[in-house]
Every structure is written in structure tokens, then in C-alpha cells.
Amino acid sequence: MASVQVVNATLPALPQGWAGEKDFKTVGALSGATQRNVEPVGPHFLAHARRKRNNRTFSEDERIQAQHNVKKTEVEEDDDISEDEDPMMLAREAKDWKGQDHYAVLGLSKHRYRATPDQIKRAHRKKVLRHHPDKKAAMGKSDENDSFFKCIQKATDLLLDPTRRRQFDSVDEAAEVEPPTKKLTGSKFYKAWGPVFEAEGRFSNKQPVPQLGDENSTQDHVETFYNFWYNVDSWRTFEYLDEDVPDDGESRDQKRHVEKKNANARRKRKTEDTVRLRELVDECLASDERIKKFKQQARAGKDAKRLAKEAEIKRLKEEKEKAKADEEQRKKDAEEAAKADREKNKKAKEAAKNASKKNKRILKSSVKDVNYFAASGEPTAAQVDGVLTDVDLIMGKIDVDELAVLAEKLTIAGKDGAAVKSAWAGEAKRLVDAGKLKDGEAKAFA
Amino acid sequence: MGDAAAPAEAERFAIGISFGNSCSSIARISPEGKAEVIANEEGDRQIPSILSYIEGEEYHGTQAKAQLIRNSTNTVAYFRDFLGKEFKSIDPTPCHQSAHPQQKDSTVAFTIRDTESETPNTVTVSEISTRHFKRLRQSASDFLGKDVNAAVITVPTDFTDAQREALVAAAKAAGLDVLQLIHEPVAAVMAYDARPEATVTDKLTVVADFGGTRSDVAVVACRGGMYTILATAHDYELGGASLDQIIIDHFAKEFMKKHKTDPRENARGLAKLKLEGEATRKALSLSSNAQISIESLVDGVDYGSTVNRTRFELLAGKVFAQFTDLIQQVVKKAELDVLDINEVIFSGGVSHTPKLASLVSNIFPETTTVLAPATSTTAINPSELSSRGAAFQASLVQEFEHEDIEQSIHPMVTVTPHLTKAIGVEFTSESGVTFQPLLSAETALPARRIAQYSAPKEGGDVLVRVCEGARDIKVTKPEPKAKEEKPAQDEDDSDFDSEDDEEEETCEIVWKTEKPVAELAVKGVKANGKIEVMVHVNPDLGLQIAVREVGSQNAVRGAVNGSA
């Protein structure tokens, strides 16, 4: 984008009298723009989209992109392998290379077993550039001491051979992390023990190694962690500490003896290491607060379950009892209500009976009061009998309510014979109409 | 943008697909960075978009095309344009000799016997497209040895949203994750611009896409590598089939002279003629003579004949004129003149025809590059342009996440203001005032350009006058002898070649200053020094201008406030 086009044209000279603030003068503005759709394709559009979406200007975007590109190449030149060189180390003799710290020699003591083969190669190259005997000669140092250069070569040879590197790593004390000596609690525990197991994890054949975690780790995680460490499959060997086997070919017995001794020493060390690791895990487990916490939780869980169960049983029982009591209460109530009902009925019946008795009396007395409808004087026995028979007949045919109505009518009629008769006649007629009485029965009220 | 690819999509392997009505092609970017068109199992780089079924077996591409003669009812062809359309709005003409489109619900379907059973099935056009994509994907995966699961697909500029959705869905059903749909003409321009030797320039390009059944022409403005379509024109009836018809008619007449029967009246005869006629037409693009031989054309009569290119060109004159008209029409529609066009790109199968290229190059001035196989040796095979462009885009966006792509192609990003007038620098010299454009019209904003101009030989103080300019077309009659002796315009002064002597006119583009915008002074320039001018135009039409002498640190800067 920032390409420069070279145009073959000559700019005019500045006319006389031209003046502008800071050599710049605005003369006009651009005429309008049209809105169009840019086709979303091509690298330049992608750059445009990037600028527009991130609100960058051309130069900003160029700078950011440039930085982005630079980063990728920078990794190669990474200066993570420069370390100060210990003068004691520089003065080492090449022949006791077994005692040297190979990582320190290459300036990789920060990385140790984590150093990649690529890092080792680059570190080697760097050291060689500085310590090559020819360089020293060129700098005018005439001592022909190239022992440190040899140390470098030894260290590189060893570290680039995976088998030998493992042997060295197995006994690399500088990579070990000492376990804490006293009991720790809280976050200190995890801080102190975490690196210990991380360092021990380098010997495991199974990778990745589970981490110690922290107080919030799940029970599952913690269990996996301890299970792993109790059954760890370690490749740690102790060949590096072997005594040198005499290689002169003269004393075969001596050689065998040394080899046997070495094998025994290795076995012993390995057993010791296994025991050490086991004790280490035991110690960690003993002071791990999480185990206690999980146990408590489990117990609390069990208790809670038991309590819940008991509560449930109790609740069921209570419910049953309550239901029973309810049932009894209901029965009792029903009985009492029935009894009260019966009594009430009885009273009403009696009252009705009394009322009808009274009414009947009124009825009977009514005919008697009007002298049995006799026109004058004493009524004949036959007359009295006829009227009373009809009164009985009608009384037998009508019910309580009608009886009351009739009694009322008769009470109003009083001793007026005609009114009483018409009341009776009316009643007789009603009964005839209702079909309860045959026409011509109750002749006395016709 | 999405510099970090999602790990889940790290396995994405994208290709470019050009899905044409008659032919499709697939391409990818090789590890060396070159676009490579992939051949299918039969070795075809142009795969006919045809599917055919015989007793449940699926045939695809050239094999399916051969079935158009014997098994036309179970052969589906020319279905791309039906995708995502309603039955009432489709033109079923191209499908006369294959399975006929039918209405099904709101979409188009074909009734074909695609299984072993006797009863035909109704298959929607989406399903057909999915099957076609599956075959293309299979071919690409077989060729590359990797599972291809994503693609950039080209579409015509007039594809509606419904068609786009249908296309994406059909591809998705075939296991292809459509990263982006790009326009065919832009893909063609990009195929040229993606070549390693190409440089980023400002140019106006006409993309003439002459396909099998339709023709599309577009004017594309390329400004600093960004493309803007200025105008398009479509002809849905003009295409290779129109030229085939001429060949068919020619041979049919010749046959009738001998045998008194018209082979076109027999369906199978017509299909045979069509198939062989197309082959003959293609052969004529490569050699000056072409043969045709058809066994048992009609009534068991074998037919063989030859035709030469001149004869064909004479017969096809009218059709050729239609093609050239379409191009002129689109230039007019973009409110441009043929003189403004810097480049004509021929795309599509018919573009192989030599006469067409020469006719088109006659329309344009000599300075215009016509990129067709017949006129330029560096031209890319026109049939492959779309897929190459798509493959290039696919390689660019392959690493991006979907969301990133969607955000980038959102109208918020793509709709940008474009300059209406060119911005440049004005030069005053003894011979007059001239103007040199630095940013052309139709440049998408924001934009930045840097140019170097030379200072006067003796050095001293220099004036840089930044102006808006406009181009005029100066028509000069030859009689009064062209008197304009303006200093040479770097690209645009040219003659219009016309055969007629009497009417020979000289047309040239002359730039003139319309409106000065800013003036800057550079003082104390060394002798033979050079001046670098940087112009930055904001979307709000504000300008930032910086001028400095090359090699010096001090720059004269200034800003012109935008109007918006």
C-alpha cells in the first residue's frame, strides 16, 4: 500500500510572493463523495476491513502489522539462554566432567530438564562462539587452555543423547525441590508442596502428571493425584553415579566385580528412591487438609442422610396418627348431629300433633256452636249424627295445613251459622273438586 | 483480523469453486502460492454441471453430458440459475433437451428416475445442487489427498439473497462450509491480480463473462487493490448456445440439401447435433478448420462435414455484434468512455473465440489491454478465471473464523465513500498548465497515495499544488492537424483506430484542473532533487498532505478539513 509511484514530471518553482503559514495554504475543499459497495475480496480489502473494524489509520495499521510480523522472527533470537558464567565453572578441568553441571555449562540452569533439544543446540552454538580456542587465540590470550571448551562439548554430547541425558537428569540435584520440613497449613501447603511434586513428576513415564491443586480441588482430583503418586511409574536410574569400570582388559575379574558393585548400588539407590518418594507422599497426605475436609463432608453427608431418614419415618407416623384421630372426630360429630336431628323432628311432630288436635277441636266445636245447623231449637239426634259424621269424614280427608286454614276460617265465622256452613260447604266442594271426596258424601254441607 | 484460527477449525481445507450454469470448475492455491485448477477423475478441468441417472447410478460431468442424447429425461442440466428461485420466475428454455423443471412447493424440482425403481422421484434443485457439490468435493479431495471441507464460491452479480442462501445451504448439505460468496467478475480480476508478477495499480477493468447460456459484463474499478463494481449488464439468452445454434443451423441445412429431412425435427438428432456442434465450435477457436461427424444422425444416416473459421465468423456476425453491444452498453451505463478503460478481461468458455476478442479490441483504444487467449499470450484460460480467483480468496480467508469473515463483509465495512473526482498535482510550465492524477475517481476512502516528482533542475523553492481534476475527451479532426501538444499523458493519449479514412478522428483524454485544494511549498530543494508527495484522504473528505524532499527528514504537512 505504501508503494511509491515515481512520476516523471517536474514540479514548478515557487512563484514570487507566495506565502502560507508553515508553507501550507488551504485553497478549497473536495467535492462530494459517492457511497459504493467495495467488493469484499483480495488482500487489500482485508487490510481495509482490518483498519475499519479496529479504527486504525494507515500508518497505525502498518506499524501494528509490522510488529506482528517481527514477533514471529524474534522468537528465534530469543535471549533466554544467556546467563552469567561462574568463574569457578570456567576454571573446571575437562577430565572431571562427571562432576560438572551440564546445564550450567551451557547456560541453561534455569531450564534444566525442561530445555528442548533446540534450546540445547542453540546454547551450544552460543557458548562455542565465545569459548572456541581459536577465538581465545585471536584475542591474544596465549594460554592454550581449552578445557572449558571441552566441558561444553561434553555437556552438549551428553544432553543431546536422550539416554545419557536421562541418566544425568536422574541425579540432577539442582533440579530437585526440597519438601517443606515443618507442617504447613492453608495456601502455604499448596505453595510448598506443588513444586515438589512438579519436580518429581519429571521422572514419570506417564505424562502429564496430575497437579497437587489447591483447597478448592474436587475430591476426584485429589484422589487421582494420590493414587498416581502411590503407583508412580518412574524411569529414574542411577547409572550416572556408577563407579568407572576399568577398561584396560587386563583384570576381567576386577571389571566384573566393579560391574556387580555398580548394579547393586543402582538397585539399592532405586529402592531407596522408591521408599523416599513413598514417604514423601505419605507426609504430604498426612498434612493435606483436604483429606480431612472430604472425610468430614462424607460423615456429614452420612449423618444428614440418617437424620433425613429418621425424620421421614417420624413424619409418616405422625401423619398416620393424625389421620386416625381425624376419622374418629368425624364419626363422633356425625352421630351427635343425627341425634340432635331426631330430637328436633320429634318436637316438631308433637307440635304439629298438638296444633291439629286444637284445630280438630275447633272444627268439632264450630258445628256444635251453630247448633249443628239446626234452624231452630234442639237438633235431632240424626241431624247431629249426620253432621258429625260428615265433619269426621272431611277431617279424615284433609291434611294438617288445610286443617289449619279451615280452622282459621271457622274461627272467623264464629257463631254465625250461615258462615260456618258456607266454610264447611266450601271445604267440602274443594275436596270434591280435588277428587278426594265423592259428590254427595258430606251431605250435611251441601 | 482473525489472526488466530480457531483450533476446532484448524482442519479446515478450503478450495475455490466456480459453479456455472453449464460448467463448474474447482481450484486451489498450491503450496508455492500459484492457483491451480483441479481436474476431476476424467481429467476435465471444466466439469459440465450436469447429473444423469441410469438405473440408480449417478453420472456426473462429461459422462452425464453424453447422456443428453439417450437418457435426456433422467439428465439434469443448466440448473444453477433455478436455485433459490420460484418456479414462476425461471426461464426453462435451456432445459429443453434434458429433464424439465417442475414446480414443487415454492421451489423448482425435476422428476427423474434416480433410483433403481421404475417410479420416478421428484428431486428439488437444491438437492441436485448438493449432489453436484458432493461430486466436486469428492474430486477435489481425491486430487489433493485431503478432505476438502470449505469453499469460496463465485456467484453472478445479480444473485439475490434467496439464491445466495439456497446456494450456501446446498453446499453445506454437501459438507462444504461456504466461507464466502464472491462475485464472478471480481474473481476474474483477482485471478489476474493474484499472479506474483502483477503490480497494484489503479485501473478500470471491463470483465466480459461469456458463458454457455448467459453473458454478464461488469465494469470494475481497481483502486489500490480494492475493487468496486461500477456497472453491470446481463444477457440471459446470449451465450455459447447462441453460437452453437448457428453451427447447428448450418450443418442442418447442409444435411437437408442431401437428404431432404431436417435433423432438427428429431429430438435425438437435435441432441446429437447440439453436442457435436458445440465440440466443433470449440475446435474452431483453436484451429481454422473443424470437422463434424455424427453417426446415425437421422434415419440411420451418418453425417460428416467440415467448416472453416471464416465461414463460421461470417455466419455468427450478428451474434458477435450482440456481445460487443453488451460491452459498449455497460461502459455507457458506468458513465465512462471506452478511453477510460485500461483493461478488458475475457472470462467464460466463449471467450476462447478469437473473432470475439479481436472485435472487442477494436472497440477499445490501443492502450487498452485485452486479456483473451487470442490477443494476449499471457492471458489465463478464461474458463478458469472465476475458480482461480475464488481459490485465491479461499486461501486468504481460510484461517479466519466465520464470525470474522461475516463482520468483514458486513455493509458497515464494505459501504465506503468513493471519490467523485480525481485528486492530483498541477504543474505549471512554459507550455501551459497540466494536471497529473494521483488518486483516481472512484477510489474507496480512506485512501493514501505517495508519489515522487522531480524538482526543477536547478533546485530552489518548489510549489506543490494539490487539485481536483476532471478528464475531458478531446476529439480532434485530422484536417486541421492536431495542434494540442500537451506534454505526454502517461497512459491516456491514444488514437482510436478506425478503418475509414475520412472519419478518422483522434480522441484523447485531457486532464484539467477543476478546483485547487491546497498549496504547499518546499524550500531549498537541492539540484536534481526529488519531491515526495503523500496524500491521505479521510472518509469525511478531509485531506492530509505531506510533502518532503526525498532524503530529508523535514516534511511540510497540512490538513484540509472534510466537508462532511
Structure confidence by residue, pLDDT tens digits, B495-519: 444 444 445 677 788 888 888 888 8
Q: Inter-chain contact B460–A14, Cβ cutoff 8 Å?
A: yes
- One domain, residues A205 and A268: yes
Output the pLDDT for position B252: 92
Burial class (CB in 10 A: 0-12, 13-18, 19+), B167: buried
Residues 22-41 of B with CB under 8 A from A: none
Instruction: Specify if A155 maps to a domain.
Output: yes
Output the pLDDT for position A18: 74
Q: Which stretch, A137-141, A390-394, B7-11, B367-371, has highest mean pLDDT?
A: B367-371
Output the pLDDT for position B499: 43
Top-confidence residue, B179 or A133:
B179
CA distances from B9 to A50, B150, B179, B404, B414 (A): 21, 10, 12, 13, 26
pLDDT at A75 over 60: no
CATH number at residue A424: 1.10.8.840
Instruction: Specify if A12 maps to a domain.
Output: no
Output the pLDDT for position B415: 87
With an 8 Å Cβ cutoff, is B489 touching chain A? no
The pLDDT mean for chain B works out to 86
For residue B51, the one-letter residue type is L
Within 10 Å of residue B275's Cβ, how many Cβ atoms? 17
Q: Is B28 strand, coil or helix?
A: strand
Q: How large is the average pLDDT for residues B72-83?
A: 91
Long-range CB pairs of A18-24, under 8 A, 24+ apart, other chains included: A18/B463, A18/B519, A18/B521, A20/B519, A20/B520, A20/B521, A22/B556, A22/B557, A22/B558, A23/B520, A23/B521, A23/B522, A23/B523, A23/B556, A24/B518, A24/B519, A24/B520, A24/B521, A24/B545, A24/B556, A24/B557, A24/B558
- One domain, residues A195 and A280: yes
Instruction: Specify if A190 maps to a domain.
Output: yes
Top-confidence residue, A145 or B485:
A145
Q: What is the pLDDT of residues A168-204, one digit of tens each?
A: 988 888 888 888 887 777 788 888 888 888 888 888 8
At residue B564 the predicted structure's pLDDT band, cuts being 50, 70 and 90, is very low
Assigned fold of B14-175+391-409: Nucleotidyltransferase; domain 5 (3.30.420)
pLDDT at A160 over 60: yes
Q: Which of A243, A263, A287 is the last residue of a domain?
A: A287
The pLDDT mean for chain A works out to 83
At residue A3 the predicted structure's pLDDT band, cuts being 50, 70 and 90, is low
Q: How far is A75 from chain B (nearest CA, A)?
A: 17
Instruction: Specify if A339 maps to a domain.
Output: no
Output the pLDDT for position A444: 66
pLDDT at A106 over 60: yes
Length of chain B: 564
Q: How far is B375 from chain A (nearest CA, A)?
A: 26
Q: How far is B101 from chain A (nearest CA, A)?
A: 33
Q: Which of A148, A172, A196 is the last residue of a domain?
A: A172
Top-confidence residue, A140 or A313:
A313
What residues contact residue B220 under an 8 Å CB cut-off, 6+ apart?
A39, B185, B186, B189, B204, B205, B206, B207, B227, B228, B229, B230
Residues 6-25 of A with CB under 8 A from B: 6-15, 18, 20, 22-25
- One domain, residues A185 and A156: no
B38 bridge partner residues = B26
CATH number at residue A100: 1.10.287.110
Instruction: Specify if A248 maps to a domain.
Output: yes
- One domain, residues A184 and A277: yes
Output the pLDDT for position B488: 45
Q: How large is the average pLDDT for residues A9-25?
A: 74
Within 10 Å of residue A161's Cβ, how many Cβ atoms? 12
Output the pLDDT for position B563: 62
Report angle CA A37, A40, A45 to the nearest 5 degrees. 105
With an 8 Å Cβ cutoff, is A440 touching chain B? no
- One domain, residues A141 and A154: yes
pLDDT at A103 over 60: yes
Q: How far is A31 from chain B (nearest CA, A)?
A: 7
Q: Rounded CA gap, A410 and B457, in Å?
A: 156
Within 10 Å of residue B118's Cβ, how many Cβ atoms? 6
Instruction: Specify if A419 maps to a domain.
Output: yes
Q: What is the pLDDT of residues A287-325, one digit of tens each?
A: 888 888 888 989 999 999 999 999 999 999 999 999 999
pLDDT at B314 over 70: yes
Asked whether B244 and B274 are in contact (CB, 8 A), the reply is: yes
* Superfamily of chain region B240-314: ATPase, substrate binding domain, subdomain 4 (3.90.640.10)
> What is the domain range of residue A427?
358-434
- One domain, residues A92 and A150: yes
CA-closest candidate to residue B213, choices B251, B240, B233: B240
With an 8 Å Cβ cutoff, is A34 touching chain B? yes
**B-chain residues within 8 Å CB-CB of A43?**
225, 396
Q: How large is the average pLDDT for residues B191-201?
A: 86
Q: Rounded CA gap, B482 and A127, in Å?
A: 77
Q: Rounded CA gap, B41 and B477, in Å?
A: 60
- For residue A44, what is the nearest residue in chain B, using CA coordinates? B225
- One domain, residues A182 and A282: yes
At residue B489 the predicted structure's pLDDT band, cuts being 50, 70 and 90, is very low
CATH code of B418-477+505-560, in short, is 2.60.34.10
- For residue B434, what is the nearest residue in chain A, using CA coordinates? A9
Interface-testing mutation among A39, A61, A68, with chain B (most B C-beta atoms within 10 A): A39
- One domain, residues A184 and A280: yes
Q: How large is the average pLDDT for residues B542-564?
A: 79
The residue behind cell 336431628 is A341
At residue B410 the predicted structure's pLDDT band, cuts being 50, 70 and 90, is confident
Q: How large is the average pLDDT for residues A33-48?
A: 85
Q: Which stretch, B9-13, B216-220, B410-414, has highest mean pLDDT?
A: B216-220
Instruction: Specify if A24 maps to a domain.
Output: no
Instruction: Specify if A427 maps to a domain.
Output: yes
Output the pLDDT for position B171: 94
Q: What is the pLDDT of residues B135-180, one digit of tens each?
A: 999 999 999 888 899 999 999 999 999 999 999 999 999 999 999 9
pLDDT at A77 over 70: no
Output the pLDDT for position B260: 85
Grid cell listed for A343: 330430637
With an 8 Å Cβ cutoff, is B523 touching chain A? yes
Output the pLDDT for position B10: 45
Output the pLDDT for position A304: 93
- One domain, residues A205 and A159: no
Output the pLDDT for position A299: 92
Delimit the domains of chain B by residue range. Answer: 14-175+391-409, 240-314, 418-477+505-560
Q: How far is A284 from chain B (nearest CA, A)?
A: 38
Q: Rounded CA gap, B365 and B384, in Å?
A: 26
Output the pLDDT for position B326: 93
At residue B105 the predicted structure's pLDDT band, cuts being 50, 70 and 90, is confident
Output the pLDDT for position B4: 37
**B-chain residues within 8 Å CB-CB of A50?**
1
Q: Name the residue among A14, A18, A53 with its Cβ closest to that of B407.
A: A53
Q: Inter-chain contact A31–B543, Cβ cutoff 8 Å?
A: no
- The region of weakest confidence among A198-202, A252-256, A424-428, B128-132 is A424-428
- One domain, residues A167 and A185: no
Output the pLDDT for position B459: 74
CB pairs under 8 A between A and B: 236
Q: How far is B214 from chain A (nearest CA, A)?
A: 22
Q: Which of A272, A287, A302 is the last residue of a domain?
A: A287
Q: What is the pLDDT of residues A334-364, one digit of tens each?
A: 999 999 999 999 999 999 889 888 888 887 7
Burial class (CB in 10 A: 0-12, 13-18, 19+), A286: exposed
Residues 161-190 of B with CB under 8 A from A: 180, 182-183, 186-187, 190
CA-closest candidate to residue B73, choices B37, B40, B110: B110
pLDDT at B335 over 80: yes
- One domain, residues A215 and A247: yes
Q: Is A177 strand, coil or helix?
A: coil
Within 10 Å of residue B429's Cβ, how many Cβ atoms? 14
Output the pLDDT for position B483: 47
Top-confidence residue, A28 or B466:
B466
Reported pTM? 0.62
